[in-house]
Structure 1
């Protein structure tokens, strides 16, 4: 059954998009209207205990408050987004809203977090639409928010206890002149992004969980490789296998899964996933589970479909791993974020030059102004911050991000690759159509980094043993 977002009586309980389903609306007969509000058991409410992330979210709000004394801040959760006609995409709250409230996969569309200034800080209130009384038309007639359609909605008192924050009905919220709104104000958007650069204990634990479930999903993929090779759109089989794990053990995927087999692995964001999975080819899978807290993993492995790398595939694969390992060694507190990328690119330039693929020396290719020839085969960066967004902290200032200094508690990816397009005449024929990326999620510690995704096989030998062990 799809949703309409509009009452069958022709009235709506809140502003709604114009109906595109006039022919589907049927009036309720009088007998229904006379009886629908009665005969319901009393619904007792037991206030929930405060959730684990509530104290962490309170600390984040306090940090944000301190940056904007005397200013009104508004952080919206966002609204449902239309998929087609009268169907919507699944709702996911704005990352800043989820980070500052602790309200994650269960957040309500249309909610707003407001910081009202006071002399010594801010009063913070979470506004949202409380569940409708069963005597109202909204209860049965509004397919977007009516409980008859979408199930129970939270109460103001329940959310206040759950999140440890004051709550009020959305009807009490008013806009004010001069307020700073996430999404509209660059200064506030930057601040909430930079607030996530260093993760707290709760965030790190959630990222560990997301990586663990993702690792289980990769095991599922290897087990189902035979099913993938048997299907004409085997990439979709791989995508579906991972989706099953993401939805059963998490909230879903943190981003569209890339299941790129053969030459498709050379397309960096291949998400069509409509190709065959062929023995003898490599399949590059870039996938991450988003857990209920909305924190996501981001892991890539490149797997020989048959279970064994060819000599050329292994040569390319182990070069990518060499670049990744060099980046691991370089990543430690006190160095710049850019150093991780530059270290990995040094390996890529050196090896591609040794193979005769560059028209210049490796040193010339690494020249910041006149070089870059090796980037033909790896155009993306080596790392990005990871957290409640897969590309977390993206609105942070450059001096805080790419030129920023690594600190304990930062979590980011290390993901070098080599991609030789099927029609790239600058490389020998045996390289063409080979795409390899190895991506891990790392936590900066006091003296280096911890590989959170180390449990997913990385070396060529480990990957071959993995396939031999699990593939049906």
Structure 2
């Protein structure tokens, strides 16, 4: 079972006063006298500098230029309580990870500090220091006495010298950090929070490589789901089985999932953020799976595929599915350097409005539905946006200014999703009965280059024919 603060070993002998926690038991003097002795030497070899270090240094330099003369404080954050004395797994703040190159192995309560200075030529700059807690090894009482940081409990932690060598950043003990009046502190300072978010709008070469890796591993996770469809169907809570299959891939080849997996079968596919995942996966239905692997650098994919559980689409399912794909293809065709980010959504909406109007679902024409002020009737069946930036957060750059995001211009190096959908709720009386309970979304991860968009997830089957062939190849007779 897990351990935490209340497991801390009393560092005094049993003659002392009783402890306040039933789980904080005193140890006899013999233990205290011997626990720090008798261990083999463990050489502390300097690790090589990480490949991402020069990229992170360039990001820090850009942030420094944006705030001359200001002291900037970027905390990693700490553990967050899950229940009683157990915590959620720690994940460093995305801005700290981006500015340091530290990923899944970042330690809680670290702080990145930019102290202002003037260069020899009078130009403003910053001295950057990463403050963190030194390792609680065998030479410290915390080694055996603190279940949160002690290496007897949690295993080796990075040393100050090791982190400095790996990341190329001077380090200091967290005890030496002190806040000061006038500090610009991330999440408390709107301008700083916005700027570090906007720094991620255009990805560098290292980030793009990590995005490709995340998509590649995610694709294998989708293959795992398709291959395991017979067992998933046989499981009473098959949606949980889907979640578990993907989790196995995410943890064995990455840090985990970049967000809670959506495994939405049948009418559940019409709930945009269905993460309860407690339903059955029934032949004849569609299952919408929205999932992404977060790799160790913390970059994540975000991909959705909608699968016919029986292996083949019914005619109405195929019609709806291919309409969503048509909308996705239109959005992809509209994406190119120099156009606004919002044009991706507008292209997808043009297809959605036209098709639902053709099916007689709208009280107005498609053109009227697309009117910016009086329209929107088609949005009943697709209320969400078509695209968002993607990277070290699944909804990356979310604090960027609107004129830099939705109204911004697409540039080479941007990575974003294209994810139109159609959702006909089980109780929606505005649609024919055969449409009700069908939800479809197709989501791909796209890299903008100087030559146009590249679909990073194109190898994961997309068309109705490709999806049926995929299931037949990996899971023949799944819905039989």
Q: What is the TM-score with the length of structure 1 in the denominator?
A: 0.97
CA distance in 1, matches of 2:340, 2:448: 12
CA distance in 1, matches of 2:227, 2:314: 21
Task: Between 32-41 and 449-458, report the one with greater CA deviation.
Answer: 32-41
CA deviation string 1:233-267 (max 9, x = no partner): 00001110000000001110000000000000000
2:410 pairs with 1:411: no
Q: Which residue, 249, 267, 282 being the options, matches 2:271?
A: 267
CA distance in 2, matches of 1:21, 1:359: 68
- 1:337-356 to structure 2, matched below 5 A, reads 337-356=341-360
Which position in structure 2 is the counterpart of 1:462?
Answer: 466
2:399 pairs with 1:395: yes
Q: Structure 1 regions of 5+ residues with no counterpart? A: 13-19
Aligned length: 465
2:231 pairs with 1:227: yes
What SS is found at the alignment partner of 2:354? Answer: helix
1:447, distance to aligned residue in structure 2 (A): 2.8
CA deviation string 1:251-293 (max 9, x = no partner): 1000000000000000000000000000010000000000000
Which position in structure 2 is the counterpart of 1:16?
Answer: none
Which position in structure 2 is the counterpart of 1:62?
Answer: 61
1:458, distance to aligned residue in structure 2 (A): 0.4
Contact 2:303 2:444 in 1 (8 A): yes
| Aligned-residue RMSD, C-alpha | 1.2
CA distance in 2, matches of 1:281, 1:451: 28
Q: Structure 2 regions of 5+ residues with no counterpart? A: 13-18, 119-123
CA distance in 2, matches of 1:296, 1:416: 20
Contact 2:6 2:21 in 1 (8 A): no
CA deviation string 1:137-181 (max 9, x = no partner): 211011111111100111111110000000000000010110111
CA deviation string 1:180-201 (max 9, x = no partner): 1111100000000000000000
2:6 pairs with 1:2: no
Contact 2:137 2:150 in 1 (8 A): no
CA deviation string 1:108-135 (max 9, x = no partner): 0000000000013000000000112424
1:21, distance to aligned residue in structure 2 (A): 8.0
CA distance in 2, matches of 1:21, 1:380: 51
2:253 pairs with 1:249: yes
What SS is found at the alignment partner of 1:113? Answer: strand
- 1:381-392 to structure 2, matched below 5 A, reads 381-392=385-396
Which position in structure 1 is the counterpart of 2:430?
Answer: 426
CA distance in 2, matches of 1:289, 1:133: 33
2:42 pairs with 1:43: yes
Which position in structure 2 is the counterpart of 1:132?
Answer: 136
2:276 pairs with 1:279: no
CA distance in 1, matches of 2:351, 2:20: 58
- Shift in CA distance, 21/347, structure 1 to aligned 2, threshold 3 Å: farther
What SS is found at the alignment partner of 2:393? Answer: coil
What SS is found at the alignment partner of 1:399? Answer: helix
CA distance in 2, matches of 1:402, 1:182: 23
- Shift in CA distance, 424/440, structure 1 to aligned 2, threshold 3 Å: same
1:9, distance to aligned residue in structure 2 (A): 4.5
Contact 2:291 2:302 in 1 (8 A): yes
CA distance in 1, matches of 2:8, 2:113: 34
CA distance in 2, matches of 1:143, 1:72: 34
CA distance in 2, matches of 1:208, 1:437: 21
Contact 1:99 1:388 in 2 (8 A): yes
What SS is found at the alignment partner of 1:100? Answer: helix
- 1:178-217 to structure 2, matched below 5 A, reads 178-217=182-221
CA distance in 2, matches of 1:9, 1:3: 11
What SS is found at the alignment partner of 2:267? Answer: helix
Which position in structure 2 is the counterpart of 1:17?
Answer: none
Contact 2:6 2:23 in 1 (8 A): no
Contact 1:6 1:144 in 2 (8 A): no
- Shift in CA distance, 418/21, structure 1 to aligned 2, threshold 3 Å: farther
- Shift in CA distance, 287/133, structure 1 to aligned 2, threshold 3 Å: closer
CA deviation string 1:33-74 (max 9, x = no partner): 111111112221110000110000000000000000000000
